[in-house]
């Protein structure tokens, strides 16, 4: 079974600084997808970034980028120039290729301080 | 484009009572999911529909939980009878069946259930 581990229950960062959230996963699959979702206090989960395992290039979306290390089964999220609106729970998630069963980690609560 | 709609936002019931949650996915999305998110944990998939057929309900406690997706659009999740451990946020999500946005799930705001 696939498992996703987020080892940092809580993190904080000063506004405008950079923070990295960690995620590791366990799978025997070769093709899969990895996601980072953001869940603000309002509760609606929002996709931050997606990575396809067959792509070596790390995904980037504006201030958000990932460091995908397939051999190490590591998928960290870097947030640059942190903003107050980035305060939220962040969930790492794994999905096998051609299977929409998404497995989530326990989440990291990020607080951006002014 | 309207997002995934869920109602109610909050529900408080006593144990052994019944409750139902409703979800309307994004228009045109063939796949619909129900997740249970217990406080302090990530969401856990309960059931997945493709149009009006069940794809995966392996993690649905079928002795008390049921779900249906009439006409392949709206969906209802029911708990009967509820237990204290069912207290959680119930999230609905939907995704399109193909194209570049395939596999991206869009979530509703959820229903927070408290069982007393």
Judged by a CB distance cut-off of 8 A, whether residue B25 touches chain A is no
DSSP per-residue string spanning chain B: ----EEE-SEEEE-TT--EEEEEE--TT--EEEEEEE-TTS--EEEEEEETTEEEE-TTS-TTTEEEE-GGGS-EEEEESS--GGG-EEEEEEEE-SSSTTTT--EE---EEEEE-
For A85-111, what is each residue's pLDDT tens digit? Answer: 999 999 999 998 877 788 999 999 999
User: Which residues of chain B have a CB within 8 Å of the CB of A104?
Assistant: 42-44
C-alpha span between A86 and A93 (Å, rounded): 18
Please give chain B's pLDDT, 116 residues, in tens. 679 999 999 999 999 999 999 999 999 898 999 999 999 899 999 999 988 899 889 999 999 999 999 888 999 999 999 999 999 999 999 998 765 566 789 999 999 999 99
User: Which residues of chain B have a CB within 8 Å of the CB of A105?
Assistant: 42
In the three-class reduction of DSSP (H, G, I as helix; E, B as strand; rest coil), residue A35 is classed as: strand
Enter the tokens of residue A37: 């979702």
Which residue in B41, B95, B108 is closest to A100 by CB distance? B95
Of A9-13, A14-18, A97-101, minimum mean pLDDT range: A97-101
Chain A interface, best mutation among B43, B49, B56, by max A CB count within 10 A: B43
Interface touch A43/B89, C-beta < 8 Å = yes
User: Which residues of chain A have a CB within 8 Å of the CB of B110?
Assistant: 43-44
Question: In chain B, positions 48-107, which contact chain A (CB-CB < 8 Å)?
Answer: 48, 55-56, 89, 91, 93, 95, 103-107
Judged by a CB distance cut-off of 8 A, whether residue B44 touches chain A is yes
Query: Which of A95, A93, A97, A94 is CA-nearest to residue A107?
Result: A93
């Amino acid at each position: 079974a696939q498992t996703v581990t987020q080892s940092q229950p809580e993190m904080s960062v000063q506004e405008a600084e950079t923070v990295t959230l960690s995620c590791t996963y366990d799978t025997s699959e070769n093709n899969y997808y990895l996601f980072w979702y953001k869940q603000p206090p309002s509760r609606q989960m929002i996709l931050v970034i997606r990575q396809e395992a067959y792509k070596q290039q790390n995904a980037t979306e504006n201030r958000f980028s990932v460091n995908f290390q397939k051999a190490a089964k590591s998928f960290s999220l870097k947030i640059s120039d942190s903003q107050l609106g980035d305060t939220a729970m962040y969930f790492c998630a794994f999905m096998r290729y051609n299977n929409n069963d998404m497995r989530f980690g326990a989440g990291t609560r990020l607080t951006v301080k002014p | 484009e309207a997002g995934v709609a869920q109602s109610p936002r909050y529900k408080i019931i006593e144990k052994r009572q019944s409750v139902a949650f409703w979800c309307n996915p994004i228009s045109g999305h063939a796949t619909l999911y129900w997740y249970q998110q217990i406080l302090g944990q990530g969401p856990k998939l309960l059931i997945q529909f493709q149009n009006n057929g069940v794809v995966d309900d392996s993690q649905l406690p079928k002795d008390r939980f049921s779900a249906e997706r009439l006409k392949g659009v709206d969906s209802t999740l029911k708990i009967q009878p509820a237990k204290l451990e069912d207290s959680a946020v119930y999230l609905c999500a939907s995704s399109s069946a193909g194209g570049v946005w395939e596999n991206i799930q869009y979530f509703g705001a959820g229903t927070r259930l408290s069982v007393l």
